[in-house]
């Protein structure tokens, strides 16, 4: 029954799981949502944004492809709002979530934290900046990482997003992680990990945007390693697609489509994908084209795995 849905018993656990990483003091959201007193004035606005799927940011089309995601934040609080947003019995409320320094990293306690070598001063006014800043963490042996997370440690408001690239001793590079509002950490499934070789450096690529106030900003990356000598069954890689050529968008034309392809030469497990476009981006889908079976009528089989149907540049969700 709708009248049985209360804040303390039903809604508070949802907020802890899906909202409070952002909606807490000193974070990126405009208001905290920790207590009943903080949440109640926003109840109808919360319902509206949840129904419209603006919040929590989760842009997967619910009618296409796979939907069993380990990090899904999709939720509904409509019954609670429609029944008057009752508080319920305070005794049903679990202890409030604590946000100490360790909890600031969603991967848990890091084994290693590396900041950019120095803060960058972003002027109150000026063009956007995309510097590349190299740091040497001092990797003296090969190690597999279990998790990696990149985020601002100073100047949240001025950092739209940022990338982290591994710079190998031979000069080649490979992207490993990206920060954006709503972007998750990279936590590899058990039995899989990313290799960092001895002598590897890391390159920070933040996107700074002036917002009317001079700001000092910095990014940091946190690593969790597997034990020394451990070799996972699956070695993870990051592949970029569609970013190596220009796309022409004709004026006054809707739904311009562009395609890119990646060939898998051996059996592969897909851990995650991150649609990344800019302000003109509208939707993105990921399809699998299976090898031609020879006798199958119609040739190769194509299966749609996922589609993002209302892409928003302000959110970068994996």
Give dist(CA 315, CA 318) in Å, integer: 10
Domains and CATH numbers, the chain: 2-100 (no CATH), 103-235 (2.60.120.230)
b/e for 156-180, b at 16 or more Cβ within 10 A? eebbbbbbbbbbeeeeeeeebbbbb
User: Is omega for the bond preceding 56 within 30 degrees of 0, making it cis?
Assistant: yes
What is the full per-residue pLDDT of the chain (318 aa) written as tens digits?
A: 345 788 888 888 888 888 887 888 877 788 999 999 999 999 999 888 888 778 887 777 778 877 666 555 555 566 777 777 788 888 888 888 777 665 578 898 999 999 999 999 999 999 988 899 999 999 999 999 999 999 988 888 888 788 999 999 999 999 899 887 667 788 998 999 999 999 999 999 998 888 899 999 999 999 999 999 999 998 888 887 777 667 888 889 888 888 889 888 888 888 778 888 878 888 899 999 988 765 556 567 888 988 888 888 777 676
Residues whose CB is less than 8 angstroms from the CB of residue 278 and which lie 6 or more positions away in sequence, other chains included: 313
Joined together, the tokens standing for residue 38 give 């903080």
**172-175, long-range: CB within 8 Å, 24+ apart, which pairs?**
173/203, 174/237, 174/238, 175/238, 175/240
Report the distance separating Cα 73 and Cα 55, nearest Å: 9
> Closest by alpha carbon to 20, among 36, 32, 6?
32
pLDDT for res 77: 61
Q: Using CA atoms, how far apart are residues 82 and 182, in angstroms rounded to an integer?
A: 28
Burial of 145 (0-12, 13-18, 19+ CB in 10 A): buried
Q: Is 66 helix (H, G, I), strand (E, B) or coil?
A: coil
Q: What is the pTM of this model?
A: 0.71
Q: Measured between alpha carbons, how far is 24 from 245 in angstroms, rounded to an integer?
A: 40
Bridge-based pairing state of the strands 234-235 and 192-196: parallel
Q: How far is CA 269 from CA 123, 161, 189, 236, 237, in A?
A: 44, 27, 11, 9, 11
Question: Given the DSSP bridges, would you call strands 143-154 and 215-225 parallel, antiparallel or unpaired?
Answer: antiparallel
| Euclidean distance between CA atoms 148 and 150, whole angstroms | 7
CA distances from residue 280 to 127, 145, 310 in whole angstroms, order as listed: 20, 35, 12
């Amino acid at each position: 029954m709708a009248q049985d849905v209360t804040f303390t018993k039903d809604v508070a656990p949802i907020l802890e799981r899906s909202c409070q990483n952002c909606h807490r003091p000193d974070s990126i959201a405009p208001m905290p949502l920790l207590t009943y007193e903080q949440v109640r004035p926003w109840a109808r606005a919360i319902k509206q944004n949840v129904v419209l799927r603006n919040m929590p940011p989760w842009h997967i089309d619910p009618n296409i492809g796979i939907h069993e995601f380990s990090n899904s934040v999709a939720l509904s609080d409509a019954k609670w709002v429609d029944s008057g947003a009752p508080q319920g019995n305070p005794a049903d409320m679990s202890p409030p979530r604590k946000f100490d320094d360790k909890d600031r990293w969603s991967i848990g306690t890091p084994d290693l934290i590396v900041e950019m070598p120095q803060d960058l001063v972003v002027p109150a006014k000026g063009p956007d900046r995309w510097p590349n800043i190299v740091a040497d963490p001092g990797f003296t042996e090969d190690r597999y990482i279990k998790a990696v997370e990149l985020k601002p440690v100073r100047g949240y408001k001025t950092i739209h997003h940022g990338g982290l690239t591994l710079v190998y001793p031979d000069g080649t590079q490979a992207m490993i992680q990206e920060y954006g509002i709503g972007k998750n950490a990279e936590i590899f499934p058990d039995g899989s990990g990313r290799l960092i070789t001895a002598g590897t450096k890391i390159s920070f690529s933040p996107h700074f945007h002036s917002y009317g106030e001079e700001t000092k900003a910095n990014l940091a990356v946190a690593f969790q390693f597997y034990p020394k000598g451990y070799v996972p069954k699956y070695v993870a890689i990051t592949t970029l697609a569609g970013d190596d050529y220009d796309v022409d968008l004709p004026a006054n034309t809707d739904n311009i489509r562009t395609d890119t392809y990646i060939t898998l030469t051996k059996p592969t497990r897909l851990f995650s994908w991150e649609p990344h476009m800019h302000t003109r981006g509208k939707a993105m889908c990921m399809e699998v084209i299976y090898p031609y079976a020879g006798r199958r009528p119609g040739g190769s089989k194509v299966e749609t795995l996922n589609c993002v149907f209302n892409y928003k540049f302000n959110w970068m969700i994996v």
